[in-house]
Amino acid sequence: MESITIHPTMPNNKDHKLHIAMLPWLAFGHMIPYLELAKLIAGKGHRISFISTPRNIDRLPPLPPNLSTLITFVKLPLPQNANLPEGAEATSDLPEDEVAHLKIAYDSLHQPITQFLTSSKPDWILFDFAPYWLPEIAQNLGIPTAFYSIMLAAVLSFAGPTSPEVPPDDRKLPEDYTVQPKWVPFPATVAWRLFEVLRLDKRITGDEKNASDKYRFIETLRGCDLIAVRSCAEFEQEWLSLLEVLHGKPVLPVGLLPPTPQDDNENVMWPSIKDWLDRQGKNTVVYVAFGTEAMPNQEEVTEIALGLEKSGLPFFWVLRTKQGSDAVKLPEGFEERNEGRGVVCRSWAPQLKILTHDSVGVFLSHSGWSSVVEVLTFGKPLVLLPMSNDQGLNARLFGEKKVGYELPRDERDGSFTSEVVAESLRMVIEKEEGKAYREKSKELKPLFGDRNRQDLYVDKFLDYLTVLTTNQRRRSI
């Protein structure tokens, strides 16, 4: 591990600086929010040890030069697993039904992580849901832990309680997960649709070889010393307060982590994209993207494409698909028929820049929290098409708050039609009944886009960690 010194230009308004280890799950939708928080913490003069596998670390965005001495990337090779293809170190490297093998390999990092923590002795560990075994290691070493959730407090609340003061979770049937949990004391629609539960069945139940995601979450929530959430009181105070009751421990929001502005010169594609956007009317363009890992299947791609066509609206679609025989195809003649009115981009696109453009009127999204933070930073409304994981729960909350309209689907199989796609987009972007979504998104723009306000959450979080660390050191003297 390289030596780390505090950069002389870093703010140093507090005498005590922390050394914090971070251990995110092996998904870029987790690693990137962890890295964003790491940069904010390092920007205040604290040291970070960011732990992941070699290939994942090599694929992360480069650090700003002023933080390079404060953030050390710790590369722990993933133990060999016969069920994992060579080079598969992140969920994006695998089909969804093979991610369980990655979790099994990840659990094998138990020993090297113990060795690293023993030698480095960080003041705190911020860790993700997957290494549910970490609190026991940390406790044996006398290191306090914080579960840093990149998911909303509402999603964590749905996972269930660990406090003996709250009645235990007795859900067993898929239908039990489609209604409001009994421990939520206020009206809420945050629950899964039946098709979402059926798709996530193995994640909920697990098997003899692999701990379920539900078990990992509950044991993580039970074992950590405090819970840190990528959220803020202004957005979901009632859910943050409920989390404290459910787990009987402190819950600290760390802010929304709004995206960092990008340099206009960093992407060679941007000038041509901007030229196309400049030629569209204000608030007329449908921007379509489903994050780094959510990939619609062939039937879904067909209905989305035909729905965009039927809407009559200009669109910019970032379409990521699998390679080879599993690759999905657009309807025959689709791109030719929509030439000029629509763009299909099959590579990475500068999402932040696109969302800032005045021509964009709605974002058709998978409901991933990072993407929603980005779009609300610029005050744009959403049409929501959740794909997997926590996205369905997110969509219910966003629907309650009128920042996104969830596209209607069949309850049992999740199917939808091109007519519904077209009607939903037109409603949110131009019709009277979509006005509530347009206005609410603009109303939240000052909250999501206020970097100073969100930065105060990080300050309060670090103050809390510092006080606890200082008190612990005094007791040990």
Q: Which residues contact 464 (CB under 8 A, 6 or more apart)?
A: 226, 250, 252
Query: What does the alpha-carbon distance between residue 420 and residue 424 come to, in Å, rounded to a whole number?
Result: 6
Task: State the amino acid at position 408 in one-letter form.
Answer: P
Per-residue model confidence (pLDDT) at position 439: 95
Residue 325: is it exposed, middle or buried by C-beta count within 10 angstroms (0-12/13-18/19+)? Answer: exposed
C-alpha 435/C-alpha 440 separation (Å) is: 8
Distance CA 405, CA 262 (A): 28
The span from the CA of 342 to the CA of 317, in Å, is 8
Q: Which of 86, 70, 184, 45 is nearest to 462 (CA)?
A: 45
Separation CA 85–CA 101 (nearest Å): 10
Dihedral over Cα of 187, 192, 194, 195: its sign = positive
Q: H helices of 164-322, where?
A: 194-199, 201-205, 213-223, 233-247, 270-278, 298-311
Rounded to 10 deg, the angle between the 28-42 and 451-476 helix axes is 80
Domains and CATH numbers, the chain: 19-258+450-476 (3.40.50.2000), 270-448 (3.40.50.2000)
Both tokens of 397, joined, read 């909350």
Would you state the structure tokens that stand for residue 30, as one six-digit string? 């987790």
pLDDT tens, the chain, 477 aa long: 332 222 323 333 356 899 999 999 999 999 999 999 999 999 999 999 999 999 999 999 999 999 999 999 999 999 888 888 989 999 989 888 888 899 999 999 999 999 999 999 999 999 999 999 999 999 999 999 999 999 999 999 999 999 999 999 999 999 999 999 999 999 999 999 999 999 887 777 777 778 889 999 999 999 999 999 999 999 999 999 999 999 999 999 999 998 776 544 456 788 899 999 999 999 999 999 997 777 788 999 999 999 999 999 999 999 877 654 467 889 999 989 998 899 999 888 889 999 999 999 999 999 999 999 999 999 999 999 998 889 999 999 999 999 999 999 998 899 999 999 999 999 999 999 999 999 999 999 999 989 898 899 999 999 999 998 887 766 655
What was the pLDDT predicted at 226?
96
Task: Look at residue 474 in the predicted model and tell me its pLDDT.
Answer: 61
Burial degree of 371 (CB within 10 A; 0-12, 13-18, 19+): buried
Cβ pair 162, 247 in contact under 8 A: yes
CA 274 remoteness from chain centre: 27
Which phi and psi (to 5°) does residue 52 adopt?
A: -160, -170
Q: What is the DSSP letter of 84?
A: S
- pTM, rounded to two decimals: 0.90
Phi/psi class of residue 315: alpha, beta or left (left: φ > 0; alpha: ψ in -120 to 50)?
beta
Q: Which two tokens stand for residue 360?
A: 């964009």
Do residues 126 and 34 make contact, with C-beta atoms less than 8 angstroms apart?
Answer: yes
